Amino acid sequence: MKRLALCTLPFALTVVAFAQQANPNAASNFISVNAPVVALTHVRVVDGTGAAPREDQTIVIRDGNIAALGDSARTTAPANATTIDLSGRSIIPGLVMLHEHLYYPTGPGIYGNVAISFSRLYLAGGVTTMRTGGNVNGIEDINLSLRIAAGEFAGPDIDATAPYVNGENTFLQMHAVRTPDEARAHIVYWAGQGATSVKAYMQISRAALKAAINEAHARHLKVTGHLCSVTYSEAADLGIDNLEHGFMPATDFVSDKQPDVCPGQAKGQQTIAALDENGAPIKTLMRKLIDKHVALTSTLTVFETFTPGTPLPPGLDVLTPSLKDAFLRARERANGNPSSVYRALLPKDMKLERNFARAGGLLVAGTDPTGSGGVVAGFSNQRQLELLVEAGFTPLEAIGIGTLNGAKYLGREGRIGSISVGKQADLVVVHGNPATTISDVRNVETVFKKGVGFDHNKLLASVSGQVGIW
C-alpha cells in the first residue's frame, strides 16, 4: 500500500499543478511582463503632477519600484533588464479612483455582485488603486481586497468600504442605523472585519453620522457620504472627510429643508440646477468645505447616463446582452424626457466642480456604476477623465485629479499617484498622447501594478459579454 501511494504521488501533484494552471481567476493568466528589472524606453512620461510631458524617457523598474527615470539618451537600461521599446506611447500614473463599486444594477432596485469581472475591468482600464464608495456585498469586498493584495486575483489595490451607514430606508440591500450607538457598533464591527473606509448615505441623521465619524476617526478611517438628510455644511461641521457626486446631492439650498429629513433627491437637484454658480451662497459653502479639508468626488459618468443627448457610454459590449438591452431601453426613456433636470444639472455641476478646484478644494474622481446601468468599470474611469476636460480642466489637470489627488486623499501620495524615482511602479502604457488628446487614455496596452505588467486585451477578453453574471 505504501508503494502504491508513493507511485501515485507524482500523478496527484501533476493534477494539482494542472488545476492551478487552469484556474481562470488566477492573476498569472493576465500577466505579460514580470521580471526583477524592467526598462521602458523611448516613452513620453505624463507624471500626474500637472507638469509638462517629458519626451523620450526611460523608466527602470526594479523589484516593483521606479529605480530610475530620465532621458533615454542618458539613462541606460541595466544589462539584466527586460527592455521594452515604447516609442509612440505615453505613460501616466495608475489611476486612483475613489467612487467605485463591485456591483452593477441587475434588476429593479437590485445590484448584482460582479466583483471578479469588475476588478479585472478596472485594472484593464488603468485603475491600480480604488476605493469602493459603498458596499452591498458585505464581507466580499474586504476578502477580495485581501486576495488581490496577496496576488491571487487580478485587480487594483482596494480600499474596501464597509456596508453603508444609513438611517431608515427602503433599499433591500442596505442596513438601517437608527441611533448613535448603532452607528458606533456598525463601525466597530466592520472595522474589525477589515474595512478600511466608511460611507454614509442619504437617510442618516446628524447624531448617527457624528457618532460614525468619531468612531471611524478613532480607528484612522476616513468617512465619505452621499447625503441628503444632512446638508453639506452640517456634514463639514461634523467632521466628514469627503462628499460624493460633486454638488449634485447637496440639499443646503432647499428652502423648506427640515433637520434630519431628506427632501428628496429631485428637489435638491432642482435647487442646484437653478443655482448661480458664482453667487455668494455657493461660494460660502465652498469656502467652508475647503477650510475644513473636505474633499469632493466628481462622478460625472453616472450623471451623463441620465442626461438626454449625451453620447452612449463606452464598454457596453462587455455586459451580458440582457443588461446591455436593459440599459439601452433606459437610455431611450431618458432621451425622451424633455423636462429632464439633468439637461441643466450636469453642466451646472461641472462648473461648480471646476470652481471648487480653482478655489483650492481637493477634487478627486470616481465613476459610480449604479443608476440605470451603462457605467462600466475601467471604461467609465477613462470617460471620467474626458468629462473633466469637458468641464473645463486641461488634460494634465484631469489626469492629476484621477491620479495624484486620489492618492493625496488616501494619504498615499508618497508611494502612488505620480511618477518619480522611489515610488511604486503603478503605470499605464497608452498609445498616443493624453496630455494633448485626453481620449488617448482609452488606448491602454499594458497596466503595471507594483512593477508587474498586465495585458489589457487579455483582461477584457476574459469577461467580455459576461459582466453581470460574476
Residue 17: what pLDDT?
45
pLDDT at position 19 over 50: no
The tens digit of pLDDT for each residue in 59-89 reads 999 999 999 999 999 999 999 999 999 999 9
What whole-number distance in Å separates Cα of residue 112 and Cα of residue 3? Answer: 51
What whole-number distance in Å separates Cα of residue 372 and Cα of residue 331? Answer: 8
Of residues 160, 154, 92, 89, the one with CA closest to residue 122 = 154
Residue 11: what pLDDT?
44
Residue 427: what pLDDT?
99
Phi–psi pair at 130, nearest 5 degrees: -145, 155
Average confidence (pLDDT) over 123-147: 96
What CATH number has the domain spanning 29-93+419-461?
2.30.40.10
What whole-number distance in Å separates Cα of residue 272 and Cα of residue 348? Answer: 8
346's enclosing H/E stretch is helix 342-358
The tens digit of pLDDT for each residue in 370-421 reads 999 999 999 999 999 999 999 999 999 999 999 999 999 999 999 999 999 9
Residue % of the chain over a pLDDT of 70: 95
Strands 31-33 and 65-71: unpaired
Residue 108: what pLDDT?
87
pLDDT at position 98 over 70: yes
pLDDT at position 247 over 80: yes
pLDDT at position 10 over 90: no
pLDDT-based confidence at residue 13 (cuts at 50, 70, 90): very low
Q: In three state form, how does the secondary structure of 314-348 look?
A: CCHHHECHHHHHHHHHHHHHHHCCCCCCHHHHHHH
Residue 14: what pLDDT?
45
Of residues 6 and 182, more confidence is placed in: 182
Alpha helices in 359-464 (DSSP H): 379-390, 395-401, 404-410, 456-461
What whole-number distance in Å separates Cα of residue 365 and Cα of residue 117? Answer: 21
What whole-number distance in Å separates Cα of residue 300 and Cα of residue 99? Answer: 11
Residue 150: what pLDDT?
95
Residue 54 exposed, middle or buried by CB count within 10 Å (0-12, 13-18, 19+) = middle
Which residue in this structure is represented by grid cell 508618497? Answer: 414
**Domain locations along the chain:** 29-93+419-461, 95-410
Residue 91: what pLDDT?
98
CATH domain 95-410 topology: TIM Barrel (3.20.20)
Average confidence (pLDDT) over 320-341: 96
Phi–psi pair at 238, nearest 5 degrees: -80, -15
Q: Which amino acid is at 71?
A: D
Q: What is the mean pLDDT of the chain?
A: 95
CA angle 247, 249, 251 (to 5 degrees): 95
Residue 22: what pLDDT?
65
Same fold, 29-93+419-461 and 95-410: no
What whole-number distance in Å separates Cα of residue 424 and Cα of residue 439? Answer: 25
CA angle 153, 159, 163 (to 5 degrees): 105
The DSSP bridge partners found for residue 454 are 31, 447
The tens digit of pLDDT for each residue in 334-349 reads 999 999 999 999 999 9
pLDDT-based confidence at residue 101 (cuts at 50, 70, 90): very high
**What is the CB neighbour count within 10 angstroms for residue 278?**
10
pLDDT at position 280 over 60: yes
Strands 427-431 and 197-200: unpaired
